[in-house]
């Protein structure tokens, strides 16, 4: 992968994530709304993060956990190349949750909202119409696009997407 491609993809994602957080948080019931969390973009094969960004203003007592889970979800999804989302390997007994989605060579994850809202935020961010202005991202790559995102939401019965 060319460095310029990675840098452009990271820049584009950063441009979209704050709005995706706001839009997702806005549809949550009042008792589920949150102040912020952590967004991670990782290598789809290794799970190593390219970027971890604070979004909003997560409570100080939750920051370390949100930071950890954003990376853990991406790493775990990378360990399961047959999975489209971390929901498929979630295990509450091991404190492993949904909220990461594979897209091409990347894994996008978020932690800071309720579990299904974490996933919905990433699905919202990855909607093909958000990326139309960037030539480096093809919504139809590998015959995946909005249908791919909807199939992820169907697997988790996600009410927010």
HSE-up of residue 53 (Cα within 13 Å, Cβ side):
18
Q: In 3-state terms, what secondary structure has residue 47?
A: coil
pLDDT for position 4: 78
**Sequence-separated (6 or more) residues with CB below 8 Å from residue 17:** 39, 53, 55, 110, 121, 125
pLDDT in tens, 26-84: 999 999 999 999 999 999 999 999 999 999 999 999 999 999 999 999 999 999 999 99
pLDDT in tens, 78-114: 999 999 999 999 999 999 999 999 998 999 999 999 9
Residues in the chain: 161
pLDDT for position 147: 84
Domain 3-155 has CATH 3.20.20: no
The residues spanned by each domain of the chain are 3-155
């Amino acid at each position: 992968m060319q460095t310029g491609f990675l840098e452009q993809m990271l820049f584009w994602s950063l441009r979209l994530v704050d709005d995706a957080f706001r839009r997702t948080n806005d549809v949550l019931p009042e008792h589920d709304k949150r102040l912020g969390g952590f967004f991670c973009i990782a290598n789809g094969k290794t799970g190593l993060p390219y970027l971890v960004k604070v979004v909003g203003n997560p409570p100080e007592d939750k920051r370390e956990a949100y930071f950890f889970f954003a990376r853990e979800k991406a790493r775990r999804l990378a360990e399961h190349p047959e999975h489209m989302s971390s929901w498929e390997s979630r295990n509450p007994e091991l404190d492993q949750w949904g909220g990461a989605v594979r897209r091409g060579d990347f894994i996008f994850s978020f932690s800071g909202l309720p579990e299904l809202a974490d996933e919905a935020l990433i699905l919202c961010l990855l909607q093909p119409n958000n990326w139309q202005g960037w030539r480096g991202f093809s919504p139809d790559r590998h015959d995946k696009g909005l249908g791919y995102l909807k199939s992820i939401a169907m697997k988790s019965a996600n009410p927010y997407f």
